[in-house]
Amino acid sequence: MTQAMGNLAFDEFGRPFLILKDQENQSRLTGKEAIKSHIMAARTVASTLRTSLGPKGLDKLMVSSDSDVTITNDGATILKMMDVDHQVAKLMVQLSQSQDDEIGDGTTGVVVLCGALLEHAESLIDKGIHPIRIADGFELAAKAAVDHLDTIAETFKIDPQNPENLIRTAMTTLGSKIINKCHRQMAEIAVNAVLNVADLERHDVNFELIKVEAKVGGRMEDSMLVKGVVIDKDFSHPQMPK
């Protein structure tokens, strides 16, 4: 391992130190160049996901080191399977994962948005604006955007007896997924599952109470919501009553 990295030597006191190979060819970036290098790494990750965004987004075929094939357009899944070494690029992966953990959707959009913000930040840095000032500007812009959303948002009261508004809201998130051909049915299943376990007074949902059980065969339209416990147990004999 030492020979691969460089040559091991000792000083006059017998203390070891490592002489790196091709050290004269190495360079260290500082200042604006270092910042631009980090921005480029983040934008590269964002550009990878950009083609998967939206209703016309394309699926990506991912092959793991074990030759397992995964076809998906989910940003968190794509980034999780990517082999990323750059530390800033890893932050983009963590950003997508945090979005998935907190919201459960928008994993691609948040990375693409971050890449766009960094692209504009790079042009502002070229104009001599300090990165801290740029970050403060982003904070003010985010607050203004949230305030505007609050003014134009249409609120409705959650009524378990009339979940139509919730179902229509859920349907909008399924338009770009593989299940979009039966997104009405899937939206109804999702909404009813949440309403069955939700604590409406505390505005809290324990998602650990909702499980998804997949079976090979059949069609997506065969999916159903079971209000109870499903036991995955085969029959001991094919003539046993069902």
pLDDT tens per residue, range 151-197: 998 888 888 888 898 999 888 877 766 777 788 899 999 999 999 99
- pLDDT at residue 22, rounded to an integer: 60
Say how far apart CA 240 and CA 78 lie, in whole Å: 44
Question: Could you tell me the residue ranges of all domains in the chain?
Answer: 32-152, 164-222
As separate numbers, helices (DSSP H) first and strands (DSSP E) second, the chain gives 8, 6
Mean pLDDT, residues 38-60 taken together? 85
Burial class of residue 41, CB neighbours in 10 A (0-12, 13-18, 19+): buried
**Complete DSSP assignment for 90-145:** HHHHHHHHHHHHHTSS-HHHHHHHHHHHHHHHHHHHHTT--HHHHHHHHHHHHHHH
Is residue 49 pLDDT above 60, yes or no? yes
Is residue 35 pLDDT above 90, yes or no? no
Residues 170, 190: contact at Cβ < 8 Å? yes
Interval 215-235: pLDDT, tens: 888 888 888 999 888 887 777
Domain 32-152 class in CATH: mainly alpha
Report the predicted TM-score, pTM, of the whole model to 2 decimal places.
0.66
What element of type H or E holds 7?
Answer: strand 6-10
